Amino acid sequence: MKELDKWVDVRKKQVREVIDMDLTIVEDKELNSYITLKEVKEVESPHRIPVNGKWITKLDKGYTIIEYSPLDKLYNVRVHINDKMEILEYYFDIILEHEIREIDGEKVPFYNDLYLDVIFYQIPATRTLPFIILDDRDELKSALKREKIDEEQYDLAYSIANDLMEEILRGENKFVNRGLEDYLKYRKNR
């Protein structure tokens, strides 16, 4: 398998527009996962994306991102929550591996991103029904062409994504099934 060096620090993912936020990182042994809670206090400007033909706000003041880094899965998942405590989406990065690094006395999750993503949009984002998309297939194919990954990693990314989508459709993904449980448990702005 080819050496992949696309490490992502969970503290910095999906917060480009953020000027100020509360950050909480905890290890949840029951889930065999690290949970990173990003409670947004101020943004440069709201981050908006098109979903189902309409623009929605994905990140703004008062929004929260819960990021799960499960140590026994080859994905990392972010749960985007709006200021009305509604889940907008579950965003799964397909990964090659996790690593916990000690930074300033704190354990911080990192993951080695394998390009492909699965997004599970919820009704507050779609305004109709939940749906799943497989995203960044072109980015994965380009990485293979540029020899950033090999065929085995390319196939692995699709295998993980397909298994994950089936698990979500069966209603068996433990992170999706948690809903707002960890947001309510770990948030600072109660």
CATH number of 124's domain = 2.40.380.10
Residue 148: inside a domain: yes
Question: Residue 1 — pLDDT band, cuts 50, 70, 90?
Answer: confident
CB 1 within 8 A of CB 153: yes
Q: What's the CA angle centered on 80, arms 154 and 63, to 5 degrees? A: 145
Residue 66: inside a domain: yes
Q: Number of folded domains in the chain? A: 1
Residue 52, amino acid: N
Residue 177: inside a domain: yes
Residues 176-185 have pLDDT tens digits of 999 999 999 9
Nearest to 91 by CA among 176, 158, 16: 176
Question: 34: which 2 tokens?
Answer: 């690290």
* pLDDT reading at 123 higher than 90: yes
Domain limits for position 52: 7-186
* pLDDT reading at 4 higher than 60: yes
Question: Residue 14 — pLDDT band, cuts 50, 70, 90?
Answer: confident
Residues 31-67 have pLDDT tens digits of 999 999 999 999 999 999 999 899 999 999 999 999 9
* DSSP code per residue over 106-153: EEEEEEEEEEEEEEEE-HHHHSS--EEEEE-HHHHHHHHHTTSS-HHH
Residue 2: inside a domain: no
Residue 85: inside a domain: yes
Residue 80: inside a domain: yes
Residues 88-97 have pLDDT tens digits of 999 999 999 9
Residue 57: inside a domain: yes
Residue 1: inside a domain: no
The pLDDT value given to residue 189: 56
Neighbour count for residue 24 (Cβ, 10 Å): 13
> Mean per-residue pLDDT for 80-95?
97
Per the prediction, the chain carries an average pLDDT of 94
